[in-house]
Chains A and B, each alone.
Chain A
């Protein structure tokens, strides 16, 4: 075994995963072909709200290749209700959520019938031959109208209000009473922001294959959560959990959109059980946009109180959050994740958060990159700019006045969290330097005074986020149904090679590379000698999967603990082999040696000795494997300063990002190349919310943006060259010092862009423009009209 001299952690390793991904050697779920496999196609409701009078399947059943056509009635006794794991309050209203509609449809795109056929073509052909008689009901689309309960999404519930969740710093003791602060404030600002509905737009559409053979249900799914999925499939279907194996093969992106237990996964399982044959379902892009969960969709009313010197004294947040028609896995909890982030990096005396969750006749919402935290960050960063404008202060100065100073960590926030670490001054100083803040301000002034048709604006976002989801006791206190721990196993093979099994479930992040780097350093083995296994409940029987920037902070820590267990046992055996006291054994670069002698045993020697087990210390088990499970004490808190310059063409309303600087502090960086990639992709998605993406419904509740022709996802051609850099303030809550990077770019960038656009045109009388800031909206705002 060769020792690695240079540390792997910190090295910009090319990703182990990429060769197979970019040369077509991987197998996506849709590539699976099983003998005797049937294909499932889903008929979806074209209307947003209706009673189903009748479904006539006779024509479809007679078509070539069709094995059977099934409706909700066929599954009424066995399909149960799709799980919602986050009942945020004791009195939360939760409607039954059938996988296949039985007598009522509640959003356009809801599954109404299934064709099971011998090919995907025959299955799709037969959909048009199913005759459904709908008795249409009034549609509920607008959040504020929904709360009047004039028309009800679920009449049995008696209301469209799902739940109201409140945090108040006066009640928890983390701060004062916000109403008192507002009443006595020198400045009070009230603003309303709309977080438009977004579609996660993962690259690989969802796909499921279920094989019911050999006394086992093997489920392949393009999912982020194989472990949770197995648990939930068992709980809902009644099939014993030990008879379900879930495999998430290579998965092409998720962004939270595959953090779900979907109707189609449940239906493939039920159909496979009924037919006794393998079943595959793969969605089209439009089908995905019509039925996979959406993200965001909140109306935010924000009240900020401050002193004239710029000190913020209180923040009141009143949210309406659109659940859509049903509560999926964590639907009601997504806005609650934001509750702890509206105070962001600032020190307020008082904070109150009230969120009302509302049902509408739309696709259910759920986690989407950032999940609650981007919404919060947008609101507070917009408000800081509003306050600066109100007081005529520099927006960066006003942030500096209010943020937590680096010497004040650990810091207990008004929202009840403890930020372990951070250095907002350092990240900001670096960002300002890279950006050329003062020169751009001068350029802005020049364009203003000359009346340049292309105005310049500067937008700031000094963000933080809570990552590393999550301490199990906190999740319990928030009424979440599961824990937040993570596991790792290390299997030392007889030849000294290493297998790592992780309970996290990568779907594009690069865990195989990063986990290998960590193990290589910890055990002193070559990077290439580590194989990382994931996404199969048969090899990793427990795990909490990947979302919320948790995998490295939580799962990486479990990995370090497992490696330490391996080393502890190996050290004991090495001492035995070298006939010395364990305390005299030193370990460096993959070898054990006895202090003061030339005696050496490599880790490989020791592992082999453990494996053959010919001569082990008294009571030692053969083998050199170790498992570890880590439950974090605290979240991690990445932060950073993003600065955006936009050029706004006042004649056309077109916005162009002319400079973007992102200085992020994600703690220790294991692989800078992967971190850069995460930041770039995150920025693209955050910028997309600011400028491009919006799920639009017509007055009938039909999604009118159900293709990439109308739902505008930006490409590299639309984005500037990002200037990225980092500061590194290690997290104190885990041994790696890592904080998580998956959502930082998305969380930070949306307000930076919108602030920049408004900064460019504020002097022309524009105070707000609704997202996305399309050229037409910007131009209309400049004409003095409604944006």
Chain B
């Protein structure tokens, strides 16, 4: 790999990282696990003047119980997410989605927060973050702020993060006892999704009490199938097939996939 020249910085705290980011200006870039940024550097599609490596900020790793929600450190690797008991018990959908991310090497290096900040619409973690009402906790020169996922993902590879801000934590409400499933269609194991559907369902006494459905790679960012979600509330499980048709109205291939995969994801989540 032969990238363009850059300055390499290794902060030891979030505050130092934020200060460095401000000092280096807008051509500086934060590098987390590097699984998206390094290929970009390799191909010289970007030539940041400085890389601020937040890999030493252990305060940003791990999952904490915060009452009604979980706090997931932005530098928690996919591998750690896959094996975390809190996530398994309270946000199973995230585990199931993470299981499908790329390959073991990538999952050991790549991070939960890094994937969200890269905001590739084909990235797997955006749709569940949106569907689960995750909230991004962001550090910047003027302190901390919180941005809900619905406002965080702006466009292709674009988030609400300002150039001088760093994502530090992601708050995910607890979905204890919900069924979950990620239905992903990709051509080879390491390829991006053509379309994928992240579904979480709460079933009480045979009736769907609540549902969350997020779609991967159907637009310029993750989308949420709110029509499907609302059509399911209070319905028996048998209503899934009909409700799934509301996932997309178009007649293109990806629209068809959205409907088919939504049905399959919900069915599997309920069976879960």
Report which A residues bind B (CB closer than 8 A): 120-121, 124-125, 128, 284, 286, 651-654, 691-692, 707-709, 712-715, 717-718, 774-776, 779-780
The distance in angstroms between the C-alpha atoms of A713 and B190, with both chains bound, is 9
Instruction: Contacts A284-B42, A715-B190 given; indicate if A120 touches B185 (C-beta within 8 A).
Output: no
Chain A positions within 8 Å of B253 at CB level: 653, 776, 779-780
23 contacts between A and B (CB under 8 A): A120-B2, A124-B44, A125-B4, A284-B1, A651-B256, A652-B256, A654-B185, A692-B187, A707-B43, A708-B190, A709-B39, A709-B191, A712-B187, A712-B188, A712-B191, A713-B188, A717-B189, A718-B188, A718-B189, A775-B185, A775-B187, A779-B253, A780-B253
Chain B positions within 8 Å of A708 at CB level: 190
Chain B positions within 8 Å of A124 at CB level: 2, 44
Chain B positions within 8 Å of A653 at CB level: 253
Name the interface residues of B52-104: CB closer than 8 Å to any CB of A: 103
Question: Residue B268 at the A interface, CB < 8 A?
Answer: no
Chain B positions within 8 Å of A774 at CB level: 187
Chain A positions within 8 Å of B188 at CB level: 692, 712-715, 717-718
- A776–B194 CB distance below 8 A: yes
- State which of A717, A718, A775 has its C-beta within 8 Å of the C-beta of B194: A775
Chain B, residues 183-219, CB within 8 Å of chain A (1/0): the string is 0010111111010000000000000000000000000
Question: Residue B131 at the A interface, CB < 8 A?
Answer: no
B263 CB, min distance to chain A CBs, angstroms? 9
The distance in angstroms between the C-alpha atoms of A651 and B245, with both chains bound, is 13
Chain B positions within 8 Å of A128 at CB level: 44
A145 CB, min distance to chain B CBs, angstroms? 28
Question: Residue B260 at the A interface, CB < 8 A?
Answer: yes
A37 CB, min distance to chain B CBs, angstroms? 16
- B43–A286 CB distance below 8 A: yes
A772 CB, min distance to chain B CBs, angstroms? 9
Chain A positions within 8 Å of B5 at CB level: 121, 125
Interface size class of B (residues with CB under 8 A): 20 to 34
The distance in angstroms between the C-alpha atoms of A128 and B2, with both chains bound, is 13
Chain B, residues 170-189, CB within 8 Å of chain A (1/0): the string is 00000000000000010111
Residue of B nearest to A717 (CB): B189
The distance in angstroms between the C-alpha atoms of A776 and B253, with both chains bound, is 7
A777 CB, min distance to chain B CBs, angstroms? 10
Question: Residue B257 at the A interface, CB < 8 A?
Answer: yes
- B189–A121 CB distance below 8 A: no
- A652–B42 CB distance below 8 A: no
The distance in angstroms between the C-alpha atoms of A709 and B44, with both chains bound, is 16
B40 CB, min distance to chain A CBs, angstroms? 11
Q: Which 5 A-B pairs have the closest CB atoms?
A: A717-B189, A124-B2, A651-B260, A718-B188, A776-B253
Residue of B nearest to A120 (CB): B2
B51 CB, min distance to chain A CBs, angstroms? 15
Instruction: Contacts A284-B42, A715-B190 given; indicate if A652 touches B185 (C-beta within 8 A).
Output: yes
The distance in angstroms between the C-alpha atoms of A780 and B188, with both chains bound, is 19
- State which of B1, B189, B256 has its C-beta within 8 Å of the C-beta of A715: B189
Chain A positions within 8 Å of B103 at CB level: 715, 717
B44 CB, min distance to chain A CBs, angstroms? 8
Chain B positions within 8 Å of A286 at CB level: 43
The distance in angstroms between the C-alpha atoms of A692 and B43, with both chains bound, is 23
B202 CB, min distance to chain A CBs, angstroms? 27
- A652–B257 CB distance below 8 A: yes
The distance in angstroms between the C-alpha atoms of A482 and B39, with both chains bound, is 43
Residue of B nearest to A718 (CB): B188
